[in-house]
């Protein structure tokens, strides 16, 4: 990212701003104090105020008119041409009157619908509804279950002799109309609350339900005809004017954006200045295009941006979907390494390894692909997914974010299928269990009927430790690179020291575990000379190198950093959770299948004990599969991201970056006012001119 200062003539200001809007590569910033020492802040003029008024007018017209397909695109040469085109649109009062009439009809229609609904609720009441709104009475429509209604009615009747009940009995429910004296209203309310009776106040209507229903339906029909006529009138106006109004409104929106930027400029009598940020690769081309636009009357100065520059993330296609996770955590600073690319390769590996079952991974993959298709095609029709589940998931995460998450999980599911096939794991079963003999294509088959992952637990744990060591070391390498770019040599040496400490402690610990496990340090009748202090030469070398790295770290990073020594070990060991989550899912599925379907020599499976137990066994397997699928989505996803956020990001990532928000917007119905082309030159384009040093 480069910081730029643009100097141009006032006569070219509108042309330059229009061009920068359409290019969309400059984030305009408020002018610095150094620049304001030579320029004055720009003020909005009469033209800007008129453009703002016209924008509000046309925005209201676009909102009021029914949409009509617009194919052609308009071009407005300058602001006077735009204002002249806007002045020819004279349909404001006609549209305003039609919208007022439509709103009034809609309000009246809603009132009639409410009245009709109330009348239909009172269909079993034979008298005039006006009797229910007498001054001395309070009337309600109620509903209760049969067992609650009987005691409720008895207690209400004991309140007064002037209580009126009219009821309609349905299966297990009773609907009734009740009228009580106003003097007994409080006691009546307490009884209704006591018996959980639902009440609704009586409507203020005159006539019996049988008389009112046809009348209200007729009025609704007449009202719909009037509403259709008003909407038809608006449609006719839209068909005539919409293709004119929409491009003008879009161009006025462009002018509104330019007006917002105008307040960040500074100017003199004949010139103006603009400051902002531009992606560094775009600076030479932007300089050429500005020269071609204004005839070399514009100067562009640039300098490398500082730490206050915004961040624009640019990652290869296919990996940029993982920017979702990075933005969720924190946006990188502009001068630090973007961790997206590493995250895009490591997270799917973690996710697939923790699933470790081809059946579960295939099911999750199918759900992810369905979500990507369904969210991308909202008009595809109804699905078999329950509506409450759809509402819950969209409440937790909006559909666009859910689609991004589904795309991120697809590579992890594919790797999970590979791991499952390699270990011969399919929904907790193995093809060897379902056939007469174990199949030969499983790379790591189980032993003794156990899943392959359990048989190779020691090797998997060792693999997870080396994975953790590699990821933590990579984070420290990136931290050293960041420190190098900031020319902080002490921090570079400190990060290298941490790498040596991590490798030294880990390798020393693994070697001690290996020798203890192999028995070389155990005092036995066959090995009477063994000693726990009998280190090997390479272990002494590891201790010496590690202690030297600790001293180097304390010298470069400070003595207080010594308290972080246990954390480097815990961060490496934390990656053992990859195997823990894998085994939890695998063993749960294996145990459920063993009890329900497979059985063992001393304990036959449930499915063999008769039809009832067979059904129970199938239910148990399905419930276990659903639980494992849920765990297979949440645990690998959460823990995989957590391992990256805590153990990896903490070594180099600061975050809290500001997003790059370039000045500009999309055009759909208008054409750019100015199309600049690079100036054709026979020689190489010179490097952007550096900013002059500010005066004291």
Q: What is the pLDDT of residues 104-134, one digit of tens each?
A: 999 999 999 999 998 888 888 888 888 888 8
Asked if pLDDT for residue 515 goes beyond 80, the answer is no
Fold exhibited by the domain 123-202: Alpha-Beta Plaits (3.30.70)
Distance CA 329, CA 653 (A): 11
Q: For every residue of 54-71, which 3-state class applies, written as one string?
A: HHHHHHHHHHHCCCCCCC
List the single range of 35-49, 57-71, 254-268, 276-290 with lowest mean pLDDT. 35-49
| Residue 173 parent element (H or E) | strand 173-181
Q: How many CB atoms are closer than 10 A to CB 350?
A: 26
Q: Which tokens hold the place of 638?
A: 């959460």
Asked if pLDDT for residue 7 goes beyond 60, the answer is yes
CA angle 294–300–306, rounded 5-degree value: 155
Q: How deeply is 601 buried, as exposed, middle or buried, from its count of CB atoms within 10 A (0-12, 13-18, 19+)?
A: exposed
Asked if pLDDT for residue 525 goes beyond 80, the answer is no
Measured between alpha carbons, how far apart are the two ends of the chain, in Å?
A: 27
> What pLDDT is attached to residue 252?
92
Q: How deeply is 436 buried, as exposed, middle or buried, from its count of CB atoms within 10 A (0-12, 13-18, 19+)?
A: exposed
Instruction: Give the residue-averaged pLDDT of 143-147.
Output: 86
β 299-304/689-690 pair status = parallel
Distance CA 516, CA 438 (A): 35
Tell me the pLDDT of the chain averaged across its residues: 83
DSSP 658-696: PBP--S----SSB--S----PPP-SSPPPPPEEPPPPP-
> What pLDDT is attached to residue 342?
92
Asked if pLDDT for residue 433 goes beyond 60, the answer is no
| Residue 178 parent element (H or E) | strand 173-181
Distance CA 600, CA 584 (A): 21
CB 20 within 8 A of CB 265: no
Q: Which tokens hold the place of 122?
A: 């009172």
DSSP 458-471: HHHHHHHHHHHHHH
Task: List own/partner pairs for 402-408 with CB under 8 A and 24 or more apart.
Answer: 402/371, 402/375, 403/371, 403/372, 403/375, 403/376, 404/321, 404/324, 405/324, 406/367, 406/368, 406/369, 406/371, 406/372, 406/375, 407/321, 407/368, 407/372, 408/321, 408/322, 408/324, 408/325, 408/347, 408/348
Distance CA 117, CA 123 (A): 10
| H helices present in 263-309, as ranges | 283-294
CB 7 within 8 A of CB 294: no
Q: Give 259's pLDDT tier (boundaries 50, 70, 90).
A: confident
Q: How many CB atoms are closer than 10 A to CB 576?
A: 17
> What pLDDT is attached to residue 459?
85
Distance CA 648, CA 572 (A): 10
Listed in order, the ranges of the chain carrying CATH 3.30.70.2750 are 123-202
Asked if pLDDT for residue 379 goes beyond 80, the answer is no
DSSP single-letter state for residue 609: S
CB 442 within 8 A of CB 359: no
Q: Give 42's pLDDT tier (boundaries 50, 70, 90).
A: low
Dihedral pair phi/psi, residue 265, rounded to 5°: -85, 170
Which whole-number Å values give the CA distances from 310 to 1, 214, 333, 390, 691, in the listed order? 8, 66, 7, 37, 19
Distance CA 358, CA 402 (A): 23
β 271-278/2-9 pair status = antiparallel
Distance CA 521, CA 284 (A): 68
Instruction: Give the residue-averaged pLDDT of 300-305.
Output: 86
- Distant-in-sequence, close-in-space partners of 591: CB < 8 Å, separation ≥ 6: none
C-alpha gyration radius of the chain: 38
Q: What share of the chain in percent tops pLDDT 90?
A: 27
Distance CA 132, CA 199 (A): 14
Q: Comparing 385 with 253, which gets the higher pLDDT?
A: 253
Distance CA 43, CA 411 (A): 54
> What pLDDT is attached to residue 599?
66
Which whole-number Å values give the CA distances from 54 to 51, 85, 99, 190, 263, in the listed order? 5, 11, 19, 59, 19
CB 174 within 8 A of CB 149: yes
CA angle 638–643–645, rounded 5-degree value: 90
Q: How deeply is 642 buried, as exposed, middle or buried, from its count of CB atoms within 10 A (0-12, 13-18, 19+)?
A: middle
DSSP 126-168: -S-GGGGG-TTEEEEEEEEEHHHHHHHHHHHHTT-TT-EEEEE
Distance CA 250, CA 58 (A): 9
> What pLDDT is attached to residue 681?
42
Instruction: Give the residue-averaged pLDDT of 143-157.
Output: 87
Q: What is the pLDDT of residues 464-500, one digit of tens each?
A: 999 999 999 999 999 999 888 888 888 899 889 989 9
Closest by CA position to 20, among listed 690, 673, 691: 673
Q: Which tokens hold the place of 492?
A: 């570079």
Distance CA 696, CA 687 (A): 27
Q: What is the pLDDT of residues 70-111, one digit of tens each?
A: 888 888 888 889 999 999 999 999 999 999 999 999 999 999
Distance CA 621, CA 599 (A): 13
- Distant-in-sequence, close-in-space partners of 271: CB < 8 Å, separation ≥ 6: 7, 8, 9, 10
């Amino acid at each position: 990212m480069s910081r730029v200062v643009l100097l141009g003539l006032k006569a070219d200001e509108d042309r330059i701003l229009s061009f920068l809007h359409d290019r969309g590569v400059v984030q305009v910033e408020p002018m610095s104090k150094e620049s304001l020492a030579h320029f004055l802040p720009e003020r909005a003029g009469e033209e800007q105020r008129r453009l703002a008024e016209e924008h509000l007018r046309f925005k209201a017209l676009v909102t009021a008119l029914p949409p009509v397909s617009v194919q052609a695109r308009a071009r407005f040469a300058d602001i006077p041409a735009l204002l002249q085109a806007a002045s020819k649109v004279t349909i404001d009062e006609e549209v305003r009157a039609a919208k007022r009439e439509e709103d009034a009809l809609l309000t009246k229609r809603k009132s009639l619908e409410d009245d009709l609904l109330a009348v239909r609720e009172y269909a079993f009441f034979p008298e005039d509804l006006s009797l229910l709104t007498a001054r001395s009475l309070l009337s309600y429509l109620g509903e209760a279950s049969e067992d609650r209604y009987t005691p409720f009615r008895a207690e209400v009747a004991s309140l007064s002799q002037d209580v009126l009940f009219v009821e309609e009995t349905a299966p297990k429910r009773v609907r009734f109309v009740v009228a009580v004296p106003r003097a007994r209203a409080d006691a009546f309310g307490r009884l209704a609350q006591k018996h959980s009776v639902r009440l609704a106040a009586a409507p203020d209507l005159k006539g019996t339900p049988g008389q009112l229903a046809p009348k209200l339906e007729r009025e609704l029909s007449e009202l719909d005809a009037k509403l259709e006529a008003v909407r038809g009138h608006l449609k006719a106006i839209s068909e005539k004017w919409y293709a004119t109004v929409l491009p003008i409104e879009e161009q006025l929106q462009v002018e509104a954006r330019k007006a917002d930027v105008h307040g960040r400029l500074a100017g003199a009598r004949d010139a103006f200045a603009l400051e902002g940020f531009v992606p560094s690769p775009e600076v030479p081309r932007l300089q050429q295009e500005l020269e071609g636009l204004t005839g070399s009357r514009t100067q562009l100065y640039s300098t490398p941006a500082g730490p206050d520059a915004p961040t624009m993330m640019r990652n290869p296609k296919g990996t940029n979907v993982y920017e979702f996770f990075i933005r969720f955590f924190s946006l990188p600073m502009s001068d630090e390494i973007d961790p997206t690319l590493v995250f895009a390769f490591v997270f799917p590996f973690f996710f697939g390894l923790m699933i470790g079952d081809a059946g579960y991974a295939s099911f999750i993959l199918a759900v992810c692909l369905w979500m990507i298709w369904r969210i991308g095609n909202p008009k595809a029709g109804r699905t078999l997914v329950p509506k409450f589940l759809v509402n819950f998931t969209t409440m937790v995460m909006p559909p666009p974010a859910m689609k991004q998450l589904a795309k991120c999980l697809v590579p992890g599911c594919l790797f999970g299928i590979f791991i499952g096939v390699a270990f011969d794991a399919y929904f907790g079963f193995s093809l060897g269990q379902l056939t007469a003999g174990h199949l030969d294509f499983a790379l790591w088959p189980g032993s003794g009927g156990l899943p392959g992952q359990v048989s190779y637990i020691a090797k998997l744990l060792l693999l997870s430790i080396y994975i953790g060591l590699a990821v933590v070391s990579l984070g420290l390498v990136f931290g050293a690179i960041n420190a190098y770019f900031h020319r902080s040599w002490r921090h570079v040496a400190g990060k290298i020291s941490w790498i040596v400490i991590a490798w030294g402690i880990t390798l020393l610990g693994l070697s001690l575990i290996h020798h203890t496990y192999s028995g070389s340090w155990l005092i036995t009748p066959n090995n009477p000379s063994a000693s726990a202090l009998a280190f090997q030469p390479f272990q002494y070398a590891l201790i010496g190198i590690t202690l030297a790295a600790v001293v180097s770290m304390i010298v470069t990073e400070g003595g207080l950093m010594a308290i972080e020594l246990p954390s480097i070990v815990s961060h490496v060991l934390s990656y053992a959770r990859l195997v823990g989550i894998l085994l939890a899912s695998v063993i749960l599925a294996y145990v459920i299948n063993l009890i329900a379907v497979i059985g063992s020599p001393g304990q036959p499976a449930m499915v063999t004990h008769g039809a009832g137990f067979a059904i129970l066994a199938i239910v148990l397997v399905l419930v276990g599969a659903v639980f494992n699928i849920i765990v297979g989505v949440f645990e690998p996803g959460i823990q995989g991201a957590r391992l990256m956020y805590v153990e990896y990001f903490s070594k180099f990532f600061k975050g809290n970056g500001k997003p790059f928000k370039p000045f500009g917007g999309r055009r759909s119905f208008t054409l750019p006012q100015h199309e600049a082309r690079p100036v054709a030159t026979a020689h190489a384009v010179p490097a952007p001119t550096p900013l002059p040093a500010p005066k004291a």
